[in-house]
């Protein structure tokens, strides 16, 4: 959940600072500085101890899952599933947007001919409406 909130804040803070200062290196530095202020929470000993305990707990669980995989089959299967989903999504979106010769291009080849499609549906809708008004 933290990653989603972080990305949302990155976009919102960056957008509002870009409105104020324009999209300049100053905007990017200020955005990174504002979002990295969350690390200041680690100065509080209670939060730091909870984060440290969570990290050690996760490392202990991973170590036990590697040593005794028959006891942690569900967790191992979920980890493998998440890795496979990440690989599939990477392959699927690999060519979604790319840069070539200074141009930003999309890898979608199916958008070449779908501009007439809404016009065709609009024409058929109007034709049906015109025919239905003639018959009634």
Quote the pLDDT of residue 2.
78
pLDDT, one tens digit per residue, over 75-124 is 889 989 999 999 999 888 887 777 778 877 777 655 545 555 566 666 66
pLDDT, one tens digit per residue, over 124-135 is 666 666 666 665
* Non-local CB neighbours of 97 within 8 Å, separated by 6+ positions: 104, 105, 106, 107
**Quick check: helix, strand or coil at residue 111?**
coil
Please tell me the distance from the alpha carbon of residue 134 to that of residue 80, in angstroms, as a whole number.
62
Checking if the pLDDT of 65 tops 70, the result is yes
pLDDT, one tens digit per residue, over 32-42 is 999 998 889 88
Structure tokens at 7: 């990305």
Quote the pLDDT of residue 100.
77
Quote the pLDDT of residue 123.
62
């Amino acid at each position: 959940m933290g990653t989603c909130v972080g990305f949302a804040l990155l976009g919102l803070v960056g957008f509002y600072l870009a409105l104020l200062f324009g999209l300049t290196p100053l905007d990017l530095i200020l955005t990174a500085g504002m979002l990295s202020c969350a690390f200041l929470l680690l100065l509080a000993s209670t939060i730091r101890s909870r984060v440290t305990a969570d990290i050690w707990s996760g490392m202990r669980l991973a170590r036990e899952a590697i040593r005794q995989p028959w006891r942690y089959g569900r967790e191992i299967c979920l980890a493998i599933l998440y890795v496979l989903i990440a690989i599939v999504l990477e392959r699927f979106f690999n060519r979604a947007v790319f840069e070539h010769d200074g141009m930003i291009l999309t890898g979608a080849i199916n958008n070449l001919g779908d501009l007439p499609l809404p016009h065709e549906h609009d024409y058929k809708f109007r034709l049906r409406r015109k025919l239905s008004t003639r018959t009634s």
